[in-house]
Amino acid sequence: METALTKVKSEEYGGELIQLVSFNLEKEEYGINVLMVREIIRMLNITRVPNTPHYVEGVINLRGKVIPIINLRKKFDLMDSEYDKRTRIMVMEVVGELMGFIVDEVSEVIRISEKEIQPPPPAVSSGIEQECMAGVINQADRLLVLLDLERMFSADERRLFSNVG
């Protein structure tokens, strides 16, 4: 499966490794390519922007750069929840634009073998934003949903974000 995943040659692990940042939303674990993540920050004051989709919380000023903030709970139609001390904004580059994504908690950076990635089952891939679901990783006692954020937004949405930021 060729996506924008980080591949690392390693004899110790016996082949191609992929590095992911894992994070939680509504008690489910997700993974994203570590190279897409620019930084992970605590919640900041978000300035609301009118006439934006329901999942756009607004914008923040990050060292002089205004970036749109996406609430992944809302984007995935999950129940909203209060922000707490573990809530983070993952600042990522998606299709050439910096964006912030609100997540419940960032867990860790993990390395997995490319062979561990399974395609999403057909019944599941009709659910949460199937376009951005790159696969599922089954690791002993946990399942991790691998996301490809570059496929999450339509061309119209990307144009809107470049105008918002």
The CATH architecture assigned to 18-164 reads Beta Barrel (2.40)
Residue type, 44: L
Q: Which sequence spans correspond to the domains of the chain?
A: 18-164
Q: What is the CA radius of gyration of the chain?
A: 16
Instruction: For residue range 89-118, list pLDDT tens digits in order.
Output: 999 988 888 999 999 999 999 998 888 888
Q: Whose CA is closest to 1, among 84, 113, 90?
A: 113
Q: pLDDT value at position 134?
A: 83
Q: Whose CA is closest to 58, among 156, 165, 158?
A: 165
Global pTM?
0.81
